Amino acid sequence: MEKRKVKNGNVYIIEAHLQKFEGQIPYFSITHEVWHATKKGEINKRYKEPWRCGDCGEDVKKAFPELKDLFDFHLRDINGEPMYTIENTMYYIKSGMVDEVKHQLLIDDVGDIMKIKTKEELHEYLNKHNLYAKWKHQAETLIEKYNLK
C-alpha cells in the first residue's frame, strides 16, 4: 500500500507492506519518504533522493492521522505481536516507561501491569486479558483494510 500527500512544500509518501525475512514470519513494515515538492505538488526531480526516509516520525504521523491504526502495528508480526513481546515489555516495566508499555501492549490502563515482576506473570497477564487474541484480530483487520501482501 502506498499513500501520498503534499504538505508544507513536501511530498510525503507512506509505504506499508508485510515484510518477510528467511526464517521469520511476516511483519508489518511502515516506512516513509519525504521529498521536496514542485509548485504543482509533484516530487521535485532536481533531487535524486528524498531528504528524509525510514521509520515514520511524529511529523509524518501527523500528516497521515487516518493511518494511526497502521502506525501502531509497525514491526508487529502478522499475528499482531510486537517484537520481543515479553522481553521488551519487561524492560519497559522495570524502567518505569509507562508510555512504551501502553504502546507495546496497545492498552490504556497500565496500573496493574506496572506491578508485574516476572516474565511468567506478564505472560499470564497477556493471556488473562486476551491480548494475543486482540492483537491477532486487529492485525487481520489491518491486513484486509489496507490490502497488505
Q: Per-residue pLDDT tens for 44-102? A: 989 899 988 988 878 888 889 999 999 999 999 999 999 999 999 999 999 999 999 99
Helices within the chain (DSSP H only): 58-63, 68-71, 85-94, 98-105, 119-128, 131-145
pTM: 0.87
Q: What pLDDT is attached to residue 58?
A: 82
Distance, CA of 97 to chain centre: 18
Q: Per-residue pLDDT tens for 99-138? A: 999 999 999 999 999 999 999 999 999 999 999 999 999 9
H/E element, 55: strand 52-55
Count CB-CB contacts under 10 A for residue 24.
9
Q: Are 14 and 32 in contact (CB under 8 A)?
A: yes
Average pLDDT of the segment spanning 6-31: 92
Rounded distance between C-alpha atoms, residue 137 and residue 52, angstroms: 33
